[in-house]
Structures are given as structure tokens and as C-alpha cells.
């Protein structure tokens, strides 16, 4: 009997003490269709600057979770003339892409590859969810804003010309077609996600025809959704209201430029662009990247010290997993990330900590694998009461055995680098179809 209690004790002691954030796993079982477990291929564009660092983080976590996702990696740099053909083909084939930032050079010559990708694949809606993360203290509370931004036209048409030397005209194009579909997407999003209000952001008192057209489209679509409140706000007042009373906003639909600014402001008030998830979606394809400020590739110091914040891209990849119909994996990933942020021990510089990307990734991997047994800290048992040490002995010997047989689930960095085999080989229960 003492032997049994020993193993019971060890199991009890092996489970980590309940953290203050009781991360409730969702208790709904998803019933997949037969064949849904087939691994999906996703195009991966690491990008420039901190891009490779954070996409590497996503790859590691996906592997640790054994998610049925397989990445096709393509090297694209921001200073290329255009996105390589093969990348576009790959995205058209896979329908889903995950990317880091591409640094667009300031000044003439090269147009933005981020923009080019969105236009070619007609990915017309960009979505950023700016929400207070529990455990992350910010100056603003009760922030839960989704910014839906038109992605293809507006000020970003890229049509500029120099009329005479010293005078430049830049065209802002607004069409009914694009305004209508982004409005429809916004209301559909609100309807599907049980959101109560959609706010259109505009500057139609000055740009009467252009933003007026945008507003008309929004109003028409609003009539089809009588249960959702619709209102309009001028963009300068909007910026001010965002920093004064952000709780009044729910879903915001905006043209291209205003959406960029509003999304960045909203991300800033809710905790920073390093943690907000987001994605771009079109009728046929979807690209997931860091929510706001997606073209931001960090500064050189961040790249050298490897201290970029991987949270935003990890949460966006959770959105991607849902998009690919793997909701359980998405839930596990999100819960793990939120737990790590809540505990507050592993935070990168932009959240006030000093960890490297790798440390955050390790913490998340640990949190996401519920069957991993963490090693206990020394000094946790009462020296005067030998009974408390019994459980630990069992754990130590078990851990020692695991190491010998090489079956341990938690790896060191060197081990991880060694077995950089294709993930396919590790999955025994999935088959390619």
C-alpha cells in the first residue's frame, strides 16, 4: 500500500500547483469529419529582421504540439522587386500563408511587397483584434476592439506622379465594389462573433465624395443587419475617443489608411503591437501575420539579441489553426500563451521583461503540453518530514530513466537542433491522403 501511495503522491506532486490563472480548457469536444486530421500544408514566409525569429518560434510550438500543419518555406526579402512567382503559386495552392514582416524600403523604386501580396491574391480584409490580455497591465481597461480594414485600395493604390518638378499628386481611389465588400465582411464578422456594434471611421466632411461613397456602402449594408447597431465617427474624433474611452468601440470598419492608424493606436492602448493577433483574408486565400504594424521588422538590436516578441504571431497562428479547422490545437495554443503572459515570468522587452524569444517559446511549449512533467524545484519539500520527499525521489528516478531511454518530451536546444527532421516522421496516427 505504501508503494501505491508513493505513486499517487508522485502523481499529485508531479502536477504543477494550480496557477492563479486557472486556464480553463474548453469542455466542448469537436467531432471532426473522417480525414480531417490530414496534415495541411501552409506557405511560410519568414521575411526580414525579426521575421525569421518569430516564424521560427511558431514552427517550434507547432512541432511541440504535434499540430497537423506542415510548412513550405520561401525566402522573400523586402527589397526584391516583386514577390517571386513560386510564392504566389504556393499560396494559391495551399490557400493559407503565415508570414513575418517584409521591410519596405522608404523612398522611390521598390513598391511594398506586403501590399503586392495582398493585391495579387485579392485579400481585401485585414482584421486586428485589440484586446486586453489578462495579466498584462495597461493604462486602459475594457478594451476589446476589432478593426476591420479595407486592404486593397484607398490611399495605398500606389498611383503617384510628379506633375511638375516640386509638385506631386497622389491618388486615393475608393470604389463602390471594394467599399461594399468590406462593409459586408464587417457586418458578417459582427454577426458571426456576436458583436453588438459596428462603427464606420471616415473623414467625409473633408473628402466628401471618396469617404462619402464608403459611408453610403456601409449604410446600405447596415440595413440588412437590424440587430447590429451601426454608427459613424470622424477619424480625428475617433483617435481621441480611442485614447479617452476605448470601451465604447466594438467592431470598427475603415478604409485603408485610417484602418492602419486606428489599428496601431488600438493595439498600443491594449498592450502593444507585440501581442495583438490578426490576419488578412480574401474570398479564397488567407494570410496570417502579426496583427497591427505587420510590416514592422524590429530594429537591429532586437534581431541581434533575439528578443522579439513572438506572442502576436503565435496568437495569429492560433487563428490560422481555427481557419484550417483544427480548433482543439488552436485552443491549446491560445491557452498556453495566455497562461504564460498571465504568470508574467517570461516576457520580452516590449512587455516590460527581459527574456529572449526562445525563453518565451520554451515556456509556451511547456504550458501547452499538459502531459509534460516539470522537474520540481529543490527545497520544495520539508526537510523535517521525510514523507514529503518520497514523491520527488520517484520523479527524479523517472526523469533519469527517461533521459537514458531518450523518451523525454522536453528537449534541450541542442537536441531540438539535432533532430530537425521533417515532422512527418513523428506522427504515427496521421496519414497523408
> Which class for 70: exposed (0-12), middle (13-18), buried (19 or more C-beta within 10 A)?
middle
Q: Is 235 in the site for other proteins (CB under 8 A)?
A: yes
- Please report, for residues 134, 139, 190, 333, the alpha-carbon distance to residue 327 in angstroms, rounded to integers and kept in the order given: 21, 32, 20, 10
Q: Least distance from C-beta 109 to other proteins, angstroms?
A: 8
Q: Is 137 in the site for other proteins (CB under 8 A)?
A: no
CA angle 419, 327, 342 (to 5 degrees): 80
Q: Is 244 in the site for other proteins (CB under 8 A)?
A: yes
Q: Nearer to other proteins by C-beta: 60 or 348?
A: 348
Count of positions on this chain that bind other proteins (CB under 8 A): 65
Q: Nearer to other proteins by C-beta: 104 or 388?
A: 104
Applying the rule CB under 8 A, the residues between 171 and 210 that interact with other proteins are 171-177, 203-210
Task: Return the exposure string of 274-295: e unless at least 16 CB atoms fall within 10 Å of the residue's CB, then b.
Answer: bbbbbbbbbeebbbbbbbbbbb
The phi and psi torsions of 278 (rounded to 5 degrees) equal -170, 175
User: How many Å apart are CA 275 and CA 326, to the nearest integer?
Assistant: 22
Q: Is 295 in the site for other proteins (CB under 8 A)?
A: yes
Using the structure block, give the residue that is written with the C-alpha cell 537591429: 300
Q: Least distance from C-beta 166 to other proteins, angstroms?
A: 4
Q: Least distance from C-beta 4 to other proteins, angstroms?
A: 55
User: How many Å apart are CA 246 and CA 57, to the nearest integer?
Assistant: 32
User: How many Å apart are CA 183 and CA 216, to the nearest integer?
Assistant: 10
Q: Is 148 in the site for other proteins (CB under 8 A)?
A: no
- Report yes or no: 309 and 159 within 8 Å, Cβ to Cβ: no
Q: Nearer to other proteins by C-beta: 237 or 393?
A: 237
Q: Is 80 in the site for other proteins (CB under 8 A)?
A: no
Applying the rule CB under 8 A, the residues between 296 and 325 that interact with other proteins are 296
Applying the rule CB under 8 A, the residues between 99 and 118 that interact with other proteins are 104-109, 111-112, 115
- Report yes or no: 44 and 73 within 8 Å, Cβ to Cβ: yes
Q: Least distance from C-beta 57 to other proteins, angstroms?
A: 22
Q: Nearer to other proteins by C-beta: 169 or 371?
A: 169
Q: Nearer to other proteins by C-beta: 90 or 265?
A: 265
Q: If DSSP codes are grouped into helix, strand and coil, which group holds residue 3?
A: helix
Strands, E, within 64-111: which ranges?
Answer: 69-73, 96-99
The residues near 160 (Cβ < 8 Å, ≥ 6 apart) are: 168, 169, 170, 171
Task: Give the range of 57-65, 162-170, 312-320, 378-386 binding other proteins by CB under 8 A.
Answer: 162-170
User: How many Å apart are CA 321 and CA 62, to the nearest integer?
Assistant: 10
- CA 291 distance to own-chain centroid: 6
Q: Least distance from C-beta 291 to other proteins, angstroms?
A: 11
What pairs with residue 131 in β-bridges? 144
Q: Least distance from C-beta 202 to other proteins, angstroms?
A: 8
Angular region, 251: left φ>0, alpha ψ -120 to 50, beta rest: beta
Q: Least distance from C-beta 143 to other proteins, angstroms?
A: 11
Q: Least distance from C-beta 364 to other proteins, angstroms?
A: 24
Q: Nearer to other proteins by C-beta: 63 or 120?
A: 120
The single residue among 64, 261, 311, 367 that binds other proteins, judged by CB under 8 A, is: 261
Q: Is 133 in the site for other proteins (CB under 8 A)?
A: no
Q: Least distance from C-beta 186 to other proteins, angstroms?
A: 19
Q: Least distance from C-beta 113 to other proteins, angstroms?
A: 11
Task: Give the range of 40-48, 166-174, 332-340, 398-406 binding other proteins by CB under 8 A.
Answer: 166-174
**Alpha-helical segments (H) within 280-386:** 300-305, 311-323, 327-343, 357-368
Q: Is 265 in the site for other proteins (CB under 8 A)?
A: yes
Q: Is 272 in the site for other proteins (CB under 8 A)?
A: yes
User: How many Å apart are CA 174 and CA 250, to the nearest integer?
Assistant: 24
The single residue among 37, 72, 225, 257 that binds other proteins, judged by CB under 8 A, is: 257
Q: Least distance from C-beta 365 to other proteins, angstroms?
A: 29
C-alpha cell, 253: 470598419
Contacting positions for other proteins (CB under 8 A):
104-109, 111-112, 115, 139-140, 155-156, 158, 160-162, 165-177, 203-210, 212-213, 215, 235-237, 239-244, 257, 260-261, 263-265, 267-269, 272-273, 292-293, 295-296
Amino acid at each position: 500500500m505504501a508503494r501505491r501511495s508513493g505513486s499517487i503522491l508522485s502523481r499529485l506532486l508531479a502536477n504543477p500547483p494550480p496557477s492563479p490563472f486557472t486556464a480553463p480548457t474548453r469542455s466542448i469536444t469537436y467531432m471532426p469529419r473522417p480525414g480531417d486530421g490530414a496534415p495541411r500544408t501552409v506557405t511560410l514566409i519568414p521575411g526580414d529582421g525579426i521575421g525569421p525569429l518569430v516564424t521560427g518560434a511558431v514552427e517550434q510550438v507547432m512541432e511541440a504540439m504535434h499540430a497537423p500543419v506542415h510548412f513550405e518555406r520561401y525566402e522573400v526579402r523586402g527589397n526584391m522587386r516583386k514577390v517571386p512567382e513560386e510564392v504566389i503559386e504556393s499560396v494559391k495552392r495551399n490557400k493559407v500563408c503565415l508570414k513575418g514582416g517584409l521591410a519596405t524600403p522608404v523612398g522611390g523604386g521598390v513598391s511594398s511587397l506586403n501590399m503586392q501580396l495582398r493585391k495579387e491574391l485579392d485579400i481585401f480584409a485585414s482584421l486586428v483584434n485589440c484586446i486586453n490580455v489578462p495579466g498584462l497591465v495597461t493604462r486602459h481597461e475594457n478594451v476589446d476592439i476589432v478593426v476591420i480594414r479595407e486592404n486593397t485600395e484607398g490611399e495605398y493604390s500606389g498611383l503617384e506622379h510628379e506633375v511638375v518638378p516640386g509638385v506631386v499628386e497622389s491618388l486615393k481611389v475608393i470604389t463602390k465594389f471594394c467599399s461594399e465588400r468590406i462593409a459586408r465582411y464587417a457586418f458578417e464578422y459582427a454577426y458571426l462573433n456576436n458583436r453588438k456594434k459596428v462603427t464606420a471611421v471616415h473623414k467625409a466632411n473633408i473628402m466628401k465624395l471618396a469617404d462619402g461613397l464608403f459611408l453610403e456602402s456601409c449604410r446600405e449594408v447596415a440595413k440588412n443587419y437590424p440587430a447590429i447597431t451601426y454608427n459613424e465617427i470622424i477619424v480625428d474624433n475617433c483617435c481621441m475617443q480611442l485614447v479617452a474611452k476605448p470601451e465604447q468601440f466594438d467592431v470598427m470598419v475603415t478604409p485603408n489608411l485610417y484602418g492602419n492608424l486606428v489599428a496601431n493606436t488600438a493595439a498600443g492602448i491594449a498592450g502593444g503591437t507585440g501581442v495583438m493577433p490578426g490576419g488578412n483574408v480574401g474570398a479564397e486565400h488567407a494570410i496570417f501575420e502579426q496583427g497591427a504594424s505587420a510590416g514592422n521588422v524590429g530594429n537591429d538590436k532586437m534581431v541581434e539579441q533575439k528578443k522579439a516578441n513572438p506572442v502576436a504571431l503565435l496568437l495569429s497562428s492560433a487563428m490560422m489553426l481555427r481557419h484550417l479547422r483544427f480548433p482543439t490545437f488552436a485552443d491549446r495554443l491560445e491557452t498556453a500563451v495566455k497562461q504564460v503572459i498571465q504568470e508574467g515570468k517570461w516576457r520580452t522587452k516590449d512587455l516590460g521583461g527581459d527574456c529572449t524569444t526562445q525563453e518565451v517559446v520554451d515556456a509556451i511549449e511547456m504550458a501547452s503540453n499538459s502531459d509534460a512533467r516539470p522537474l520540481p524545484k529543490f527545497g520544495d519539500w520539508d526537510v523535517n518530514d521525510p514523507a514529503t520527499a518520497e514523491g520527488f525521489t520517484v520523479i527524479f528516478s523517472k526523469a533519469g530513466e527517461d533521459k537514458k531511454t531518450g523518451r523525454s518530451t522536453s528537449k534541450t536546444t541542442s537536441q531540438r537542433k539535432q533532430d530537425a527532421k521533417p515532422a512527418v516522421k513523428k506522427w504515427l496516427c496521421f496519414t497523408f491522403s
